[in-house]
Homo-oligomer: A and B are copies of this chain.
Amino acid sequence: MGEILKKRLKSKRFESDDLEVILNIFVTSYFLRSKHDEVFQRYGLTMPQYNVLRILKGNYPEGYSRCEIISRMVEPAPDVTRIVDRLVKEKLAERYYSEKDKRLSLTRITEKGIELLNKIKPDIDELNSLISSKLTNTEKKKLSDMLEKIYGDYVEE
Contacts and interface: CB of A to CB of B under 8 A. Distances in A.
Chain multiplicity (copies): 2
A143 B18 contact: no
A interface secondary structure, majority: helix
Interface band, chain A: 35 or more
Given A143-B146, A146-B143, A151 B27 contact: yes
Contacts of A155: 4, 7-8
A31 interface: yes
A30 B70 CA distance: 14
Interface of A: 1-2, 4-5, 7-11, 16-33, 58, 68, 71-72, 74-75, 125, 128-132, 134-135, 137, 139-144, 146-152, 154-155, 157
The 9 closest A-B CB pairs, nearest first, are A29-B29, A4-B148, A18-B131, A31-B151, A18-B128, A24-B147, A4-B152, A28-B147, A134-B149
